[in-house]
Amino acid sequence: MFCVDPVGGNVLCYAQLARYLGNNQPFYGLQSPGLFGESEPLTRIEDMASCYIEALQTIQPV
């Protein structure tokens, strides 16, 4: 299962869901870069989508 960060939030909001699913269910939280000042935040949905797709493909190649 893949979940992206909610607007203005972070993927920690999915911690309870991940625990509930159990160890046999792979769970990935995709965090948009820049939310914590480590880089410029992405402001365009197209850039966010590209970032998420790239992350997804590193975990599950096409």
Contact of 30 with 53, CB cutoff 8 Å: no
**pLDDT of amino acid 34:** 83
**pLDDT of amino acid 33:** 86
pTM of this prediction exceeds 0.85: no
Below-70 pLDDT ranges, the chain: none
**pLDDT of amino acid 59:** 92
**pLDDT of amino acid 50:** 95
**pLDDT of amino acid 4:** 93
As a dihedral over the C-alpha atoms of residue 35, residue 21, residue 27, residue 8, rounded to 10 degrees, the angle is -10
Name every residue whose Cβ is closer than 8 Å to that of residue 34 and which is 6 or more positions away in sequence.
40, 41, 42
